[in-house]
A and B are shown apart, each in its own frame.
Chain A
Amino acid sequence: DADVTQTPRNRITKTGKRIMLECSQTKGHDRMYWYRQDPGLGLRLIYYSFDVKDINKGEISDGYSVSRQAQAKFSLSLESAIPNQTALYFCATSDSGTGAIQQYFGPGTRLTVT
């Protein structure tokens, strides 16, 4: 199903460019997360938001920023992309009303920085 959508699905950009990855959800969840996945490293948390006015840094936030435009939308920006930000990026949601523990993931955005 498409409860959590990410756009674009694939993106190639050049070093130094600013880019934005977008995440939308129709699940009505209040919590949203951004992760990056690198081969052999699993998923690492970049930023998370427990509600529209709450933004928190994760394990690897340097070089990234986020915006929670609405409960359903959570965007990740790379202010000045660099090659080591080439990765697969996932958005996820969870619902504090049901314990906030299980996460639901989008399909991912594959980003290549040349």
Chain B
Amino acid sequence: AQSVTQPDIHITVSEGASLELRCNYSYGATPYLFWYVQSPGQGLQLLLKYFSGDTLVQGIKGFEAEFKRSQSSFNLRKPSVHWSDAAEYFCAVAPGGSYIPTFGRGTSLIVHP
């Protein structure tokens, strides 16, 4: 069975600093990969997704993620964090064909002014 690891439970950054959230997965083939964001009191919103093709994907709100097959990773990045980016971020992985994603445990982003 596939698994998803988000090794950082909390990350604290200063506003304007760059951000990288890590996601590693365990699966035999290349799965479908997602990053979702959950703002306080809200549901999950899709930031970006990777199915195939260019390994650097652009998402909403200035986020991007890079798929690295050799490292089984799909890390989320943003060059300059805004206070409104403070939220919970979830990586999700879905094997091709099942369409049922497995979610990581989430990384809570704290932004200092």
Contact = CB atoms under 8 A, between A and B. Distances in A.
A8 B7 CA distance: 33
A60 interface: no
Interface in A37-83: 40-45, 48, 58
Interface stretch (B60-68, B69-77, B94-102): B94-102
Contact of B51 (A41, A48, A101, A108): A101
A42 B105 contact: yes
A90 B45 CA distance: 12
Interface residues of B, number: 22
Contact of A106 (B6, B9, B43): B43
Interface residues of A, number: 26
Interface string B18-38: 000000000000001010100
Interface string B73-109: 0000000000000000010001000011101111000
Contacts of A94: 99
B99 A100 contact: yes
A101 B105 contact: no
B103 A107 contact: no
B100 A45 contact: yes
Across the A-B interface, the 5 shortest Cβ-Cβ residue pairs: A105-B43, A42-B105, A43-B103, A105-B44, A100-B99
Interface of B: 6, 9, 32, 34, 36, 41-46, 49, 51, 90, 94, 99-101, 103-106
Interface of A: 4, 31, 33, 35, 40-45, 48, 58, 90, 92, 94, 96, 99-108
